[in-house]
Structure 1
Amino acid sequence: MKKNLLFILALLCLTQISFAAITVKGRVFDKATGHPMEYATVRACTLPDKTFVSGCITDPSGHFSMELEKGRYELEIQFMGFITSYKTVNLDGTKGVVDVGKINLSPDSRLLEEVNVVAEKSTYEMTLDKHVFNVGKDVGNTAGNAIEVLENIPAVSVDVEGNVSLRGDDGVRILIDGKESGLSGMSTQDALRTLQGDMIERVEVITNPSVRYDAEGSAGIINIILKKDKRQGFNGAVNLRTGYPWMYGASLSGNYRLKRWNLFASYGFNNRSNIGGGVNRTKRYSDVVDGDTLFTQLTDQTTERRMNRMGHNVRVGADYYITDRDIVSAAFVYRYGKLATHPVVRYSDVYPMWDSASYDVRAEDYAEVDPMYEVTLDYDKTFERKGRSLKANVRFFTNTENAGSDITESLYPNADAQQALWTMYQKTGNDQRMRNLQASIDYVHPFLTKAQWEIGGKYTNRNILSNDSVWQKNDGIWEPLDNYCYDYEYSEQVAALYTSLGNEWGRWSGQVGLRAEMTDILTNLKGYAHDGTDSINGGKPYFDFFPSAHINYSVNEFNQFQVSYTRRIRRPGFWQMSPFRSFNDNRNIRLGNPSLTPTYMDSYELGYIHFWDNASFNFTTYYRHGTNMIRNYTYEDDGVFYSMPINFGKADDFGVEAVAQGQMTKWWNLNGNVNFFRSQFNGTINDKVYNDATWMLFGRAVSKFKISNWFDLQLTAHIMGPHKEPLGMRKGNWWVDLAVSKEIFHGNGTITFNVRDLFNSRSWGGESWGDGFWQYNTSTWNRRSFSLNFNYRINQQNMKRNRPGGDEGGDDGGGEEQTGEDY
């Protein structure tokens, strides 16, 4: 294996030597202001036939550079709102580097006078290695939060509790601006619900990341890029929203660029109510006699839940250009969230063997606050040679969650009874604190003509402390329930080094890399543990290698292929290992498992992408092999059902994914995706071997109509098929969202009306079974909702750049300097 890897690396380098190329470079300026222009597009076409051969965009200092062979070319330099410039270049091969010098672009007064034009990026920007979803283009996300934004991303699904999965695997890594962030919180679902969609610029989905990224995340990476601009002068936006069930909120964002300083700030506030609930039917049985099941208990359980969530998000920062090639950035983020829930659980029990029944009502008042702050410092340096760069980052954040609840449970002889037989009072407490320190460095060095070597490292130190307790009132005295009181400490250190080598030769390009990670996890549990011991203390150090390989073949600029391989890991998270127990439903309790071990995933992909003038199509087939897979296991003990994650065994997934988008007519845009795969799983639970397979299908379609010049109408349909699990099955579900938007104030403002779950059809559920029981459940997190959003833009103009099948700038749309690099 090592010899083969060395051979591939040598081949990538040596093959390039046979291709002689000449570097053409220059610099683009705004003639009116004299400032360098970032994101100007430079295209090279052969003369006299004007065949496109290469292209690039300018960096923050206006520099561009491209590699061309001998010949005569016309350079086309363009930028939205400016007059296109042309320059002829003759390359005779006598010079290895040709500098075309300073190129000035003049503003196009005709375009500047068209104040009614508001250009936008495509909703999707597809490449072979990732999909980019531009949030601002999708009118259905204007009043939503980050969880609702993710629901509209191809291959991404979100369940009723906000758990995110990618291609059916919930081992997905969620990053903010390319890094693990306090904005994703200790409870990722709750934190993302406080992050408003109007603060998000775009979302990147990477299913087979290179070694540059953390190896964490068996399914891949979802990278949420927040808004920040770098254009000269001041620009900003104001958002106001309201809706039903009752919600209201506002957000402000601004950016000011002057000479060497770029200042940015944003603030968001949201208050939102949810109404949800569910139904659970349980059958307990003792034996089967003459083919008849002897049921000992039948339980119909209903849950009604009212929830209110309030959150503040503040983000301020600055970029300082020491030179045109040296940038220092600092940012501060503060988030404050407050959650209140009021679930009421009703149990109707029937005991056939004893011809008796009972009715039980359990009500809870739960409150939680979770402040967070984060500080980041970045240094970016680019060199004169195109592609050579150095980046360094230091990030620290801390989360605190303080929660408690008051619970009242009453037992009645039947549902119509007014007088309770008895009433029990309980209360819970949960205090948690997380601290996270990260430091990373990355260096990219181009060599030969089109080869590139990259090396980097990262260190992460994460520490979580949790104190949990449950108390019960007996004879007027509060007493702790020892089985539910504990202190748990989780400490994780990960040190990583990686290197990769890439090259281009003709229509081929490739990259191979290797990442090494040393992980040390230390857990310390004091108090009751679910395995019966009084304490669990110990470390779990392990060392792993994670290789990756990507090979691309470009038939032409309209047809491209890629084959890739990566190895990834899913480390058990804090919530999976902590003995935390949900207690609002004391008949269905969730446990953690401190004995969990990491899941390893080998992922192979073959992808094809085709561009048309107004459409694009991406088809991917993939195979994943996972070991030590983590699955939820439910068992019954003395009438209580416990659910906990366990290492189940292995899984093999074979799937296909198709994503397409197209401008069908001037007034109709259509895009969608479908994912279909077969999962074969094999594992052992309680000495029983389970070997089975299931098929799974999910997809979505978005149809957007421009109704004359009055408004836009968007319909989004989602579908998720049923599938089997080792000890159960999940039912399928579907739902439709509707959005209508209207431009006002000469294109500077937008009003949007949204209806989520138009037919109130969205629900989640399924069946589970085990020794002596069968359960069926269905639930909804939120019912049909309505929202109205107003957005006003100040000195903003989204720049449209056409290319086959979409807009350019998938890695730099929105002016964000961070495009998903993680180490």
Structure 2
Amino acid sequence: MKPLRSLLTLALFAAPSAGFAQQKPASISGQVTDIQKKALESATVALLRGKDSSVIKYGVADKAGRFVFENLEAGQYLVQITAAGFEKKYSEKLTLDGNVAPVELAAMILAPQTKSMDGVTVTAKRPMVEQKIDRTVVNVEASITNAGSNALEVLEKAPGVTVDKDGNISLKGKEGVMVLVDGRPTQLSSADLANLLRNMNASQLDQVEIMTNPPAKFDAAGNAGIINIKTKKTKQFGFNGSATLSYGQGRYGKINESLNLNYRKNKVALFANISHNHRKNFQRLDIQRNLRNFNTKELEYFFDQEAHMQSKYNSINAKFGADYFLSKKTTLGISLGTNTNPGTNINNNLNQISDNAGNLFEVTKSVTGAEQTFRNVQANANFRHQFDSTGRELTADVDYLNYRLRDQQYLSNYYFDAHNNQIRNGDTLYSFLPQDINILSGKADYLQPLKGGARFEAGVKSSTVKTDNNARFDSMINGKRVFDANRSNHFIYEEQINAAYVNLAGPLSKKWNGQLGLRLEQTVAKGTQVTTDSVFKRNYLNLFPTAFIQYKANEKNVFGLNYGRRIRRPNYESLNPFVEYLDRYTFQQGNPNLQPQFSHNVELSHTFRQFLTTTVNYTRTTDIIQQVIEQNTERKEAYVKQANIANQRQVGIAVNATMPITKWWTSSVYVNASDNRFEGIVSGENVVVEGRMLMLNGTQQFKLSKTWSAEASGFYRTAGLEGVLLTRPVGIFNLGLAKQVMNNKGSIRLNVRDVFYTMKFKAETRYANVDAQFQEWRDSRVVNLTFTYRFSKGKLNGSAPKRRTSSASDEQERVGGN
């Protein structure tokens, strides 16, 4: 089996090494307009091969309707223009001999589409990964192996993204990613965010946008950058939609269904997305801990812990919205979304405790059960007004978000000696851990185009957040359930963030482009420990500059340099001093003394012939918020908490290549190497941890016929550093097959995720008196069968407004952060 794995890995990651003929490149450019000579912004432009009309590249017309294809080799080409609400348009066949001047096409004038489209389904093939000037875009449906997956598994495959064993998300080896859904932050704890994404069907998703250094318009939160998950929408008159049904079989079965509906008539557009997800999973976690004396570092006890966990979730997601077009220039919109995710968790835990000579003297058997109900409601009202045809516009959003978590748990412990004789009475701890979060946010943005293609942007934002956590613990004493005042706690956190920004971007010369931005954020926070009647307050003001510069050396080479300062505020759960137990000896605890962390990010990039992008990055982070493990040897306890433990330095290099190998084979490969160094104080001792990591991510897509296609994808990560954990190598290999049916109205996809069952997380950590190893695996090998049916009755709409980011992007993420 090992030779087979090696062969597949080489085929997956080494495919793009095919050479290219060295010829002088040329370019084709032009403009798209309607019959009134009005520029058609966002028209889709495709460059086709002249001999067989196969697609070589896609592009999008800018605000002036302009497009350009550069770095073209000698050969014959066609240009195809498509725009919603208009007839398709082709150019004449063009012949480039490698020594011609740039070709400027005659204006491509599109006629309006008047025919009804009853029973006709329009589909377009998009590349799986698109590299844009300020972000990387992953088109979710372009990957066969995404069928039947959830949103977290989609992120796991995205270039530069890492998902650890607990669902924490990193970008290019850096923690502190701000995750948005349709521009709105999720505002959840790491665990709750992971559960939300695990219960969000891939069939609901359209794109994943990855921004490592966002401009000043975006919130400054997110040390590593922003990941924006965009759900499906449409631009079509009449009634249309899609329905998806998927079944997956791992150790347990998994079912998800989704329905997307859209209706547009006259001045009103309506949309609705509904999905259901039923998942049953298992998790196995083994921990070996050496409990050492803090002063002498001598071994005192050895723990061998084995946990078998099983979870069930049955989530329902729904989102409804409407846009009303007051005029051609003014649009009002509203949306309402809700997610309900009830679930149960059961954990059977075995702890074997030995002395320093390896003699077993105590066995603790624990059973932990939890019933959870998670619900969130999101409401948005938005406004957009275009002042004129130059692109000058004003937009505004108001958002309200409410999160409600009810978590009831019990922990029962039973104590035995090495011969399974009971050595003392068992005990049971009950807990009720409610959490309520309310967020109100508003923002306004103004865009002003300037002469010479430049643009000026400015905006303001204000948000208020209140979290209320009232944890109650009860202990079983003499057969009676008694309130445990020592563990119970009531914590309220209130925060207001006010922000303003300006941004100026445009060409500096024929070869130089630049962008400068500055964002000001004020944070006012108050935390109240109701139980102990103690209060902490914070008030700080920060500036966050951003700068981008791009140099086009020639037709083949484009260089870019950018800088940004960012902040990562503690998520609300981390500030909450609650205690949550895994077993009698292992728990996690919040830290109300957490301070924000700040980072400086610099990136230098080079793009060669528009298909190969290389990026070098440097990041310096102070007061880094990091999850650490601390131990109490006397009580034999280990607990996890967040702390401002260290400063971090990271240097990395990433290479991204997407290109057609042949007419029927397209390859996409991403490679990232990073070096991380943490240095700080943990448990009163100076700790220095350093590690290097290499990550490879690849997808090979094969067009077998007009209706059949296949895909192989996967990733591999070497040993490296994740916080204070030294992780072992891990990887995954996926296979997929797809068939278009019912005159392309339907599709059937079969895929196998984690074919060789290699998604097994292993790590170790050693510092101060902490010495532990971890092994964890889940129900990751799954066979999925997915059917999707698309229907429409109407005609395409070329002027539907874009749904924009909301005003609550940062706050929604910090309901937990990651």
| TM-score, length-scaled by structure 1 | 0.83
Cα drift, residue 738 of structure 1: 2.2
**Letter of the structure 2 residue corresponding to residue 346 of structure 1:** L
1:334 is matched with which residue: 338, 355, 371? 338
* Distance change >3 Å, CA 25–CA 321, structure 1 → 2: farther
The answer on whether the counterparts of 2:221 and 2:568 sit within 8 Å (CA) in structure 1 is yes
Q: Say whether residues 1:485 and 2:507 are aligned partners.
A: no
* 3-state SS of paired residue (1:482): coil
Aligned amino acid, residue 524 of structure 1 = T
1:420 Cα deviation after fit: 8.0
Secondary structure in 1 matching 2:197: helix
Measured at CA, do residues 43 and 761 of structure 1 come closer, stay the same or move farther in structure 2, by a change above 3 Å? closer
Tell me how far 1:286 sits from its aligned partner.
4.3
CA distance in 1, matches of 2:66, 2:662: 37
- Counterpart in 2 of 1:158? 163
RMSD between superposed Cα atoms in Å:
3.6
Question: Helix, strand or coil for the counterpart of 1:271?
Answer: strand
1:90-239 correspondence to structure 2 within 5 Å: 104-105=110-111, 118-181=123-186, 187-239=192-244
Instruction: Note closer, same or farther for the CA distance 1:820–1:429 as it changes in structure 2 (3 Å cut).
Output: closer
In the TM superposition, what are the counterparts of 1:20-59 in structure 2 within 5 Å? 28=34, 39-40=42-43, 57=61
Superposed displacement of residue 337, structure 1: 0.7
Deviation at 1:116, TM superposition (A): 9.6
The answer on 1:623 being equivalent to 2:618 is: yes
- Show CA shifts across 1:575-633 (max 9, x none): 22111222132312111111111110111111122346xxx121111111111112222
Aligned mates of 1:411, 1:607 — CA distance in 2 = 59
3-state SS of 2:34 partner: strand
* Pick aligned residue for 1:818 from 789, 804, 811: 804
Cα separation, 2, equivalents of 1:667 and 1:128: 28
What is the DSSP-based 3-state SS (H/G/I as helix, E as strand, rest coil) of the residue aligned with 2:213?
coil
1:361 correspondence with 2:365: yes
Tell me what 1:604 maps to. 602
Contact 1:611 1:617 in 2 (8 A): yes
Assess if the C-alpha contact under 8 Å between 1:128 and 1:607 holds in 2.
no
Q: 2:574 aligns to what SS in structure 1?
A: helix
Query: Aligned residues, how many?
Result: 740
Instruction: Name the CA distance, whole Å, in 2 between partners of 1:452 and 1:419.
Output: 75
SS in 2 for 1:192: helix
Map of 2:577 onto structure 1 = 579
Map 1:739-778 onto structure 2 (within 5 A).
739-778=736-775
Q: One-letter code of the match for 1:784?
A: R
Give the conservation status (yes or no) of the 8 Å contact 1:40–1:77. no
Q: Distance in 1 between matches of 2:66 and 2:298?
A: 78
Contact between 1:156 and 1:165, CA under 8 Å: does it hold in 2?
yes
**Deviation larger for 383-392 or 134-143:** 383-392
Change (3 A) 1:460 1:781: farther
Distance 1:25 1:762, change over 3 A: closer
Structure 1 contact 228–816 (Cα < 8 Å) conserved: no
Structure 1 match to 2:630: 635
1:274 aligns with 2:281: yes
Contact 1:340/1:367 (<8 A) preserved: yes
Which shows bigger deviation, 770-779 or 302-311?
770-779
Query: Does the CA contact (< 8 Å) of 1:760 and 1:784 recur in 2?
Result: yes
Q: Do 1:29 and 1:36's aligned partners in 2 also have CA atoms closer than 8 Å?
A: no
Q: Secondary structure at the match of 2:175?
A: coil
Contact 2:120 2:793 (8 Å CA) reproduced: no
SS, match of residue 317 in structure 2: strand
Within 5 Å, give how 1:497-512 maps onto structure 2: 497-504=500-507, 505-512=509-516
* SS, match of residue 277 in structure 2: strand
Q: What is the Cα deviation at residue 464 of structure 1?
A: 0.8
8 A contact 1:85–1:105 mirrored in 2: no
Deviates more, 1:358-367 or 1:185-194: 185-194
Aligned-pair distance for 1:411? 1.9
1:405-444 alignment runs, 5 A limit? 405-414=409-418, 417=420, 422-444=425-447
Q: Which of 305, 318, 322 is the aligned partner of 1:318?
A: 322
The whole-number CA distance in structure 1 between the counterparts of 2:806 and 2:44 is 22
| Distance in 2 (alpha carbons) for counterparts of 1:657 and 1:207 | 12
Residues in 2 aligned to 1:787 and 1:482: alpha-carbon distance in whole angstroms: 48
Structure 2 residue aligned with 1:666, among 640, 663, 668? 663
Secondary structure of residue in 2 paired with 1:483: coil
CA distance in 2, matches of 1:767, 1:30: 67
* AA partner of residue 581 (structure 1): V
Q: d(CA) in 1 for partners of 2:246 and 2:46? A: 42
Measured in 1, the distance between the counterparts of 2:685 and 2:423 equals: 43
The residue matched to 2:457 in structure 1 has which SS? strand
1:180-230 alpha-carbon deviations (Å, 9 max, x no partner): 256999932222222221111101000011100000001100011111112
Counterpart position of 1:389: 393
Name the CA distance, whole Å, in 1 between partners of 2:658 and 2:543: 38
CA separation in 2, counterparts of 1:181 and 1:243? 26
Closer, same or farther in 2 for the Cα pair 1:815/1:737, shift >3 Å?
farther
TM-superposed CA distance for 1:319, in Å, is 1.3
* Residue-by-residue CA offset, 1:498-557 (whole Å, 9 max, x unaligned): 011122132221111110000012111233xxxxxx454111110000000111223456
Counterpart AA for 2:438: R
Counterpart amino acid of 2:638? F
User: Which residue number in structure 2 is paired with residue 246 of structure 1?
Assistant: 253
CA deviation after TM superposition for structure 1 residue 651, in Å: 1.5
Instruction: Quickly say closer, same or farther: Cα 1:757–1:639, change in 2 above 3 A.
Output: same
Alpha-carbon shift at residue 692 of structure 1 (Å): 4.7
Q: Residue type of the partner of 2:580?
A: S
Query: Counterpart of 1:737?
Result: 734
The 3-state SS of whatever aligns with 1:484 is coil
Change (3 A) 1:662 1:564: same
Match of 1:254, SS state, is strand
Q: Show CA shifts across 1:45-65 (max 9, x none).
A: xxxxxxxxxx96387xxx858
The AA in structure 1 aligned to 2:243 is V
The whole-number CA distance in structure 2 between the counterparts of 1:726 and 1:30 is 59
* Superposition deviation, residue 695 in structure 1: 1.1
Q: Structure 1 385/507 Cα, relative in aligned 2: closer, same or farther at 3 Å? A: farther
| Aligned mates of 2:156, 2:800 — CA distance in 1 | 22
Report the equivalent of 1:804. Answer: none
Match of 2:308 in 1: 304
Residue 355 of structure 1: how far off its partner (Å): 4.9
Q: Distance in 2 between matches of 1:185 and 1:158?
A: 11
- The 1:543/1:500 distance shift into structure 2, 3 A limit, reads same
Unmatched 5+ stretches in structure 1: 1-23, 45-54, 68-74, 88-99, 528-533, 800-811
Report the AA paired with residue 157 of structure 2: N
Q: 1:168 is paired with a residue of what secondary structure?
A: coil
Residue in structure 2 matched with residue 474 of structure 1 by the alignment: 477
Alignment deviations for residues 329-372 of structure 1 (CA, whole Å, 9 cap, x no partner): 11110111111111111112223569552222111221101121
Choose 308-317 or 352-361, whichever is displaced more: 352-361
- The one-letter code of the counterpart of 2:558 is Q
Following superposition, the deviation at residue 176 of structure 1 comes to: 1.6
User: Contact conserved, 1:295 with 1:353, CA < 8 A, in 2?
Assistant: no
Q: CA deviation at 1:131?
A: 0.3
Q: Deviations over 1:223-263 (max 9, x none)?
A: 11111112222210001111222211211111112222211
Name the amino acid aligned to 2:575.
M
Amino acid at match of 2:214: P
Contact 2:118 2:794 in 1 (8 A): no
More off after superposition, 617-626 vs 378-387:
378-387
Pick closer, same or farther for the CA change 1:117–1:238 going to 2, 3 Å.
closer
1-structure distance, mates of 2:805, 2:724? 41
Q: Which amino acid aligns with 1:247?
A: K
Could you say if the C-alpha distance between residues 685 and 79 of structure 1 is closer, same or farther in structure 2, counting changes exceeding 3 Å? same
Partners of 1:186 and 1:462 in 2: CA distance: 20
